[in-house]
Chain A
Amino acid sequence: MSVVETQKAGLEGQLSGRRLPRWSTPALAGGALIVGLIVQLTGWTVVGLAPGVIAAVVFLLGQAIASLAIEGRRHSKDRIATTLIYATFVVALTPLLWILITVLVKGLSVFDWTFFTSTMRNVSPRQPGGGILHAFLGTLEQVGIATLVSVPIGLLAAIYLVEFGKGRLKFWISFFVDVMTGVPSIVAGLFIYTALILTGVLQQSGFAAALALCILMIPVVIRSSEEMLKIVPNDLREAALALGVPKWKVILRIVVPTAISGLITGAMLAVARVAGETAPLLLTTFLAQDINLNAFNGSQTSLPTFIWDQISRGTSSSVNRAWGAALALILFVLIIYAAARILAARFAPKSR
């Protein structure tokens, strides 16, 4: 028995070298915090670094040195890497929370009933009050038109890529769909301006803005629809084809209904993506201060361009309105996200 125990102890000794005790990490973190506090209280500092930064450096170096002394070089490197990777995560979360909280606090301060039910008609930039109704309706209409145009085109193109496409044409379409997702939004606006407005086909209008959004939306819809159609099991297609159903009917009656929840989710995520676009709208519409439901004629404001307009006016009450509209826009996008998830769950094919 004693032999076994010594063997075991010996094995342990061989398999894992000396490690830092578990309490070393919290102890070092505590030590680093104390150093940070001292820096904060005494005002003494190294090359002007903030106390938090000094505390972080002390923790990183302290752990590295302790680990180097006890565990060796390899584990020391591992600990440095672990600390840095955890730090990147904190660094990434900070701006997200910062933005969301700022928009929420500043936006809520201007939220009231008139903000949602009135327009900027007869409201001068310096005056408080006014509302976003016209901008919200403009966003609904422009994004709605963009969706009506983009979703059928995107779905058909995805069907081509998954069900029919082969060879070079499929490769190039697939390749350029990916490249098209990277087209800068301002270029989409420039394209609609040069191709349709300068040539006299359209005026600067809500519809032109919607078409610019389509350029951004179509590749996103194609990509997400393609992923969804690929998931549909081949057995379903083959079973239907074996029963003599023509291919187009297989696609419309079997493949698309099976994938419908994913298709809807993908389309709605594409909607959420373009709902916040500003740059293409600035080139394709003029700003309005009142409701204009006619997308083909006259100027039409949307939520993003409303925010842009209010920021550029620069008075404190107009910037407040910009924050309110920013919160409304974020809520709008989040509601679409949530609705996409709920619809996806509801339309999901019933499985046993």
Chain B
Amino acid sequence: MSTSTDETAKSAADPAGISGAAIRAGDRSFLGLSRGAGILVLAVMAAIAAFLVWKAIPSLQVDSANFLTEQSWLPDQTPSVFGIAVLAFGTFVTAVIAMLIAVPIGFGIALFIAYYARPKFGKALGFIVDLLAAVPSIIFGLWGLYNFMPAVTSFAEWLTEYLGWIPIFANDKQLWTKSLLMAGLVLAIMVLPTVSAISREVFLQVPRMHIEASLALGATRWEMIKMAVFPFSRPGMISAAMLGLGRALGETIAVALILSAVFEVNTHITEPGGNSFAANIALKWGEAGEVGRSALIASGLVLFLITLAVNMIARWIIARRKEFSGAN
């Protein structure tokens, strides 16, 4: 008892004892734990790529067609025939439609919240738009299939009637539902909160001084936005759009419910047909055999790499922006 008291007293007197071994052991194990959790993130990202590649190889070896250009998906047949052309086309078209609609509207909402609405009202609006992001995608799919699609069919018919001379709007099947256009429109609604939430954050970071200087020089509100807000927030706006694109590319359930099962590259976007990477996986998973699942994993790998690239570019733009921003 007395010796231990002596020892503590001694170690307290000893300058080296201030950061004694006991204290450092606790710190070290805690640092180890938390660093381990951080490294886990890197490990998981690497593992996703590694396992998808590993399990995709068996199907790629037996694929008798060109994986990139083949337009059918019959992996469980002998010989196995499948390719991602239809999936890549459908994913690309739906994402482009979603982006064309969601990006300008998303920026508009963000501008409205940041510069047009009163601050309190704007905050409430921001909350409401975020609520849209909280609606699960299965509910977008359910609503899209039974409510949105019937209501918007007349718009698709209008496109064919008045703009049908543009090849993509032509409609030879005389059917306007379950099309890439419909999927793209629903995706646009789903991506909207992502685009508007991030661009709103960016708009709110524009230095007050730039805005007031511009208004003081007699600029109208729109001129202020064009000359003070947009130049400052351009990188943020680009990455907001790209993060929205990432979400549109990877969306599964809503697209799976809306698109029909017709597996073809169809450039008439108002006709039923087409498919996307994610939707195809969800739809074909249950019935797929061993090679079929491996083929779906291969298509999932392509999707993963595409979204990875899109997200990395978006984050890279934001990260670079943070470093050089004069506002911070």
Interface residues of A (CB under 8 A from B): 47-49, 74-75, 77-78, 80-82, 84-89, 91-93, 95-96, 98-99, 102-103, 152-154, 156-157, 159-161, 163-165, 169-170, 172-173, 175-187, 190-191, 193-195, 198, 215, 218-219, 222, 244, 246-249, 251, 272-273, 275-279, 282-283, 304, 307-308, 311, 319, 322-323, 326, 329-330, 333-334, 337
Mark B215-247 against chain A: 1 for CB-CB distance below 8 A, else 0: 000001111010000000000000000010011
What would be 17 A-B contacts, judged by CB atoms less than 8 Å apart?
Answer: A77-B223, A85-B112, A86-B116, A93-B128, A169-B35, A170-B38, A175-B315, A175-B319, A176-B45, A180-B41, A180-B44, A190-B297, A190-B304, A191-B47, A277-B136, A322-B142, A333-B134
Q: What separation, in Å, do the CA atoms of A275 and B135 have in the docked complex?
A: 10
A186 neighbours in B (Cβ, 8 Å): 250, 252, 278, 281-282, 300, 303
- The stretch among B51-59, B71-79, B170-178 that forms the contact with chain A is B51-59
The answer to whether B311 touches A182, judged by C-beta atoms less than 8 angstroms apart, is: yes
The answer to whether A176 touches B257, judged by C-beta atoms less than 8 angstroms apart, is: no
Interface residues of B (CB under 8 A from A): 18, 23, 26-27, 29-31, 33-42, 44-45, 47-48, 51-52, 54-55, 104-105, 107-109, 111-112, 116-117, 125, 128-129, 131-132, 134-143, 145-148, 158, 161-162, 189, 192, 196, 220-223, 225, 243, 246-247, 249-253, 257, 278, 281-282, 285-286, 293, 296-297, 300, 303-304, 307-308, 310-312, 314-316, 318-319
Nearest-CB distance from A115 to chain B (Å)?
17
Nearest-CB distance from A342 to chain B (Å)?
16
The answer to whether B112 touches A86, judged by C-beta atoms less than 8 angstroms apart, is: yes
The answer to whether B112 touches A89, judged by C-beta atoms less than 8 angstroms apart, is: yes
Q: What separation, in Å, do the CA atoms of A186 and B301 have in the docked complex?
A: 11
Nearest-CB distance from B187 to chain A (Å)?
12
Q: What separation, in Å, do the CA atoms of A10 and B316 have in the docked complex?
A: 54
Q: What separation, in Å, do the CA atoms of A215 and B143 have in the docked complex?
A: 27
The answer to whether A96 touches B142, judged by C-beta atoms less than 8 angstroms apart, is: no
* Chain B: CB-nearest residue to A171: B319
Partner of B30, one of A48, A176, A195, A248: A248
Task: From known contacts A102-B147, A103-B143, infer whether A246 and B26 are also in contact, taking CB-CB under 8 Å.
Answer: yes
The answer to whether A278 touches B143, judged by C-beta atoms less than 8 angstroms apart, is: no
Partner of A218, one of B41, B249, B312: B41
* Chain A: CB-nearest residue to B135: A99
Q: What separation, in Å, do the CA atoms of A319 and B30 have in the docked complex?
A: 51
The answer to whether A194 touches B54, judged by C-beta atoms less than 8 angstroms apart, is: yes
* Chain B: CB-nearest residue to A184: B250
Partner of A165, one of B38, B143, B220: B38
The answer to whether B128 touches A96, judged by C-beta atoms less than 8 angstroms apart, is: yes
Task: From known contacts A178-B311, A278-B138, A307-B138, infer whether A244 and B109 are also in contact, taking CB-CB under 8 Å.
Answer: no
Partner of A279, one of B45, B148, B158, B253: B253
Q: What separation, in Å, do the CA atoms of A99 and B136 have in the docked complex?
A: 11
A93 neighbours in B (Cβ, 8 Å): 128
Q: What separation, in Å, do the CA atoms of A60 and B55 have in the docked complex?
A: 56
The answer to whether A333 touches B147, judged by C-beta atoms less than 8 angstroms apart, is: no
The answer to whether A81 touches B300, judged by C-beta atoms less than 8 angstroms apart, is: no
Partner of B221, one of A78, A153, A330: A78
A169 neighbours in B (Cβ, 8 Å): 35, 38-39
Nearest-CB distance from B327 to chain A (Å)?
17
Which 10 A-B residue pairings sit nearest by Cβ, starting from the closest? A276-B136, A184-B250, A88-B108, A182-B311, A156-B37, A248-B30, A78-B220, A160-B34, A279-B252, A81-B222
Q: What separation, in Å, do the CA atoms of A335 and B252 have in the docked complex?
A: 25
